[in-house]
Amino acid sequence: MTTVVLIGTQWGDEGKGKITDFLAEKADLVVRYQGGNNAGHTVVVGENSFKLHLIPSGILYPDKICVIGNGVVIDPKVLKEELEYLRERGIATDNLKISLRAHLIMPYHKKLDELEEEDKGENKIGTTKRGIGPAYRDKAARTGIRVCDLLDKELFAEKLALNLKEKNNLLEKIYGVEGFSYDELYHEYLEYAEVIRPYATDTSRLINDAIEGGQKVLFEGAQGTLLDLDHGTYPYVTSSHPVAGAACIGAGIGPTKIHKVIGVVKAYTTRVGSGPFPTELLDETGEFLRKQGYEFGTTTGRPRRCGWFDGVIARYAARVNGLSGLAVTKLDVLTGLETIKVAVGYRFNGKVINEFPASLKELSRCEPVYEELPGWSEDITGARKLTDLPENARNYLRKIEEITGVPIKIISVGTRRDQTIILD
Ligand code: 2SA
Ligand code: GDP
Ligand code: MG
């Protein structure tokens, strides 16, 4: 491995946490480049299950440098809690590095996220209410507060005052709720400044120096391609860029520094939050997938919507991310299904289309065109090489390769590190 970007190809929760953890063993640095604590990555190490939201999954290895890049939005309260959660479980956090350029999530961002969702009623996005959208909005509006601002008392005081003037006005006059006290926020955040200070650095420099020095860097994407602000199912997306290209911007490296892009593909499809989902199963098969795959949000506990594997989406993700390889996860969850359906195109206005439409109105009218493949009943959680898998499972994987045109490099057949098959 040299420089690898690992991304989600669907609507998130593909099992990126597990694959990151697996690949991190061979990496020197693990870097997060977008999103915030809306992410929920579950990593199972032996008998222990770790749920990480903000800190890169690589932290579970004592010798890896873990970076929160400039493209991430940081809720310092959550950072403090996550650091404590890890330390309480015997995980050292000294190798964490945080970008001086990363933006902060403030309590008014969370409040606004909540109020805006309520206001939208039936049209709500289904956000995680972690303040992600409002924080990125301030970043784009050039009013955001960054880590380097927080570490400078006077600058922070100035920026906080300016922001509170605007936000309290909005909260009180538009939403009719109480605003935030300057003094309380100022003192709360000064405490967080001291939590962040030991980790804060120029992470772009750090990452580039590591690459130049021949070290191996793994970029850990959060959410998934269809939640991307540009390439996803807008407006039912997150406010960052989960696609591979964003690793450059969110970490401060150039495109020439990336060698491989691995797309994590769940063997079926899930989605949390609102918006169209062509292969969604609202029947007992959907219920079977949710139960077998334990499909509940890692951050919010929400039940995930479940459906068949969607080849149109996978092909689209292969293109917009420039995938060089696939990691197929949760293949074991399909065990026991007599037949498995795979969407190979959509029927729209009486015609078959192969491209993922830009218009959501169009997408919501698309009917999947399915191919049916025979399932398998054998327990595959003990498989460690391709030939351990039943023929029907191998045929299913071959179908995914055929649809996407991308070779499968990793197959996951269970939550644990060892429940993984590596292909050359
Ligand atoms: P936000 O909070 O502004 O990013 O929400 C906007 C949309 O992005 C979706 N989103 C996610 N979808 C899947 N998984 C996510 N992380 C958690 C997990 C989710 C959870 O790992 O399970 O616990 O509920 C995630 N984060 C954001 C969100 O559902 C909206 O559709
Ligand atoms: P992420 O957001 O992409 O990191 O995914 P999540 O951690 O939110 O959700 C994936 C869930 O599936 C987690 O609970 C993982 O432990 C679990 N998981 C990952 N790979 C496998 C697998 O191959 N089989 C099964 N049964 N579970 C898996
Ligand atoms: Mg997740």
Active site residue 424: no
11, 18, 306: residue to mutate for ligand 2 pocket, most atoms within 8 A of CB: 18
With a 6 A CB cut-off, is 42 part of the ligand 1 pocket? Answer: no
Atom of ligand 2 lying closest to residue 292 CA: 26
Mean pLDDT of the chain: 96
What was the pLDDT predicted at 1? 54
Active site residue 103: no
Reduce the DSSP state of residue 161 to 3 states and report it. Answer: helix
Exposed/middle/buried for residue 385 (C-beta within 10 Å: 0-12, 13-18, 19+): exposed
Task: Give the model's confidence band at 299: pLDDT under 50 very low, under 70 low, under 90 confident, else very high.
Answer: confident
Atom of ligand 2 lying closest to residue 414 CA: 24
Does the interface ipTM go beyond 0.90? yes
Give whole-number Cα distances, 277 to 59, 271, 335, 346, in Å.
Answer: 34, 8, 23, 12
Six-digit token string for 203: 């992470």
What was the pLDDT predicted at 23? 94
38, 229, 306: residue to mutate for ligand 1 pocket, most atoms within 8 A of CB: 38
pLDDT surpasses 60 at 348? yes
Residue 331 CA, ligand 2 centroid: distance in Å = 11
Segment 33-39 shows an average pLDDT of 97
Going by alpha carbons, the residue nearest to atom 13 of ligand 2 is: 42
The answer to whether the predicted template modeling score (pTM) of the entire model surpasses 0.90 is: yes
With a 6 A CB cut-off, is 102 part of the ligand 1 pocket? Answer: no
Tell me the DSSP string of 191-216: HHHHHHGGGEE-HHHHHHHHHHTT--
149-169 pLDDT, tens digit each? 999 999 999 999 999 999 999
Residue 416 CA, ligand 2 centroid: distance in Å = 9
Catalytic one of 21, 28, 41, 138: 41
